[in-house]
Amino acid sequence: MSFCSFLGGEMFKDHFQPGIYVCAKCGHELFSSRAKYEHSSPWPAFTDTMHQDSVSKREDRPGALKVSCGRCGNGLGHEFLNDGPKRGQSRF
């Protein structure tokens, strides 16, 4: 499954079939469907990345990190700290 940046219509928000979400630009593995969960945002929500180097992060504002593909730098949105389904988890 190709995971695009959040600039267009998001087709994977309600998609919950097993698989791996990859960068639409370079094919780098980003997220597993096992880390995906339902959330009220208009985008898919994940608790963790597929690999330690799946994404790169930089501080954007308090409580939020800007997230890009760890290989090609394609913009993917944000990691919201402590906003996951369980206490202490992040939401990508």
Residue 4 has pLDDT above 60, yes or no: no
CATH number, domain with residue 31: 2.170.150.20
Phi-psi map region of 31: left, alpha, beta (phi>0 left; psi -120 to 50 alpha): beta
Of 5 and 57, the one with more pLDDT: 57
- Residue with structure tokens 């990345």? 49
pLDDT at 6: 45
Sheet with 20-23: strands ordered across = 2-3, 20-23, 29-32
pTM over 0.85: no
Domain count, the chain: 1
pLDDT at 17: 78
Q: Does residue 33 lie in a domain region?
A: yes
Report CA-CA distances (Å) from 28 to 40, 41, 69, 79, 83.
26, 24, 7, 18, 25
Give pLDDT tens digits for 28-47.
999 999 998 888 877 788 99
Residue 59 structural domain: 20-91
Burial (CB < 10 A; 0-12, 13-18, 19+), residue 3, is: buried
Q: Does residue 8 lie in a domain region?
A: no
Tell me what the pLDDT averaged over the chain comes to: 85
